[in-house]
Amino acid sequence: MALDLQAIIKEIESGDQRRIPPVDTWFPEREGAIDIHIDSQMCWFHEGAPFQRDSLVKLFSSILRKEGDTYFLVTPAEKLKISVDDVPFEVVGLLERENAFGEFVAVTNTEDLVPLDTSATMQLRVYQGVLVPYLEVRKGLFARVSRHVFYQMAEHAELRSCDGEDQYVLVSGDVEFVIGNA
């Protein structure tokens, strides 16, 4: 999926971000499962065949909810369990806000925009034997930071000592995000 960075920048500046349905307020009586799978590379499959339309991935990603370790597609009418290898999203872009020096916005593979501010949560997790940053996209749904975005973050990171441990920290505005250990 090719990202239109100019369109994303305009969206950030206008504040007109993609609207996400209030899936956390929907508790449908009808529950089931559907053969939709998100693999470790964040590729979506239905009955073993890859999704062909990015717009369908974006639509379905907007109705995702996580309960415990289980992922669901949720509408007001039904809740369907799906399988996810790691996480449903990947951070594929890092933009520096033009109107606010030193503030960053992460862009996911589904074009969700995640400002790296006080409301953002970043965790370090082990993925394939390596410590990797994961960023919360919304309400318990995380994105794994792609390797090239990690390198972008590392270019802006500072080495800091925290609890006697040296760590690389990305500073976005007034907020610090640990992206790795030294």
Q: Does residue 16 belong to any structural domain of this protein?
A: no
Pair 118, 169 in one domain: yes
Distance, in Å, from the CA atom of 1 to the CA atom of 57, rounded to the nearest integer, reads: 11
> Mean pLDDT lowest for which of 18-22, 58-62, 73-77, 111-115?
18-22
* pLDDT at residue 163, as a whole number: 78
The phi, psi pair for 11, rounded to 5°, reads -65, -40
The total of structural domains in the chain comes to 2
Determine which helix (DSSP H) or strand (DSSP E) holds 59, and give its type and residue range.
Answer: helix 54-61
CB-based contacts of 132-140 (< 8 A; 24+ apart in sequence): 133/177, 133/178, 133/179, 133/180, 134/87, 135/91, 135/106, 137/89, 137/108, 137/112, 138/20, 138/112, 139/24, 139/65, 139/66, 140/66
Q: Does residue 4 belong to any structural domain of this protein?
A: no
* pLDDT at residue 19, as a whole number: 76
Pair 103, 177 in one domain: yes
Pair 58, 102 in one domain: no
Pair 153, 121 in one domain: yes
Final residue of a structural domain among 61, 84, 107:
84
Side-chain half-sphere CA neighbours of 49 within 13 A: 4
Final residue of a structural domain among 67, 84, 101:
84
Residue 3 has pLDDT above 50, yes or no: no
Pair 114, 165 in one domain: yes
Four-point Cα dihedral 18, 176, 152, 99, nearest 10: 60
Question: What's the domain range around 126?
Answer: 89-181
Closest to 113 measured CA to CA, from 7, 41, 2, 25: 7
How much is the average pLDDT of 4-19?
A: 55
**Tokens linked to 63:** 């109705």
- Residue 13's pLDDT band (cuts 50, 70, 90): low
CATH code, 66:
3.10.540.10
Predicted TM-score of the model (pTM)? 0.87
Pair 124, 160 in one domain: yes
Pair 94, 159 in one domain: yes
CATH code, 116:
2.30.270.10
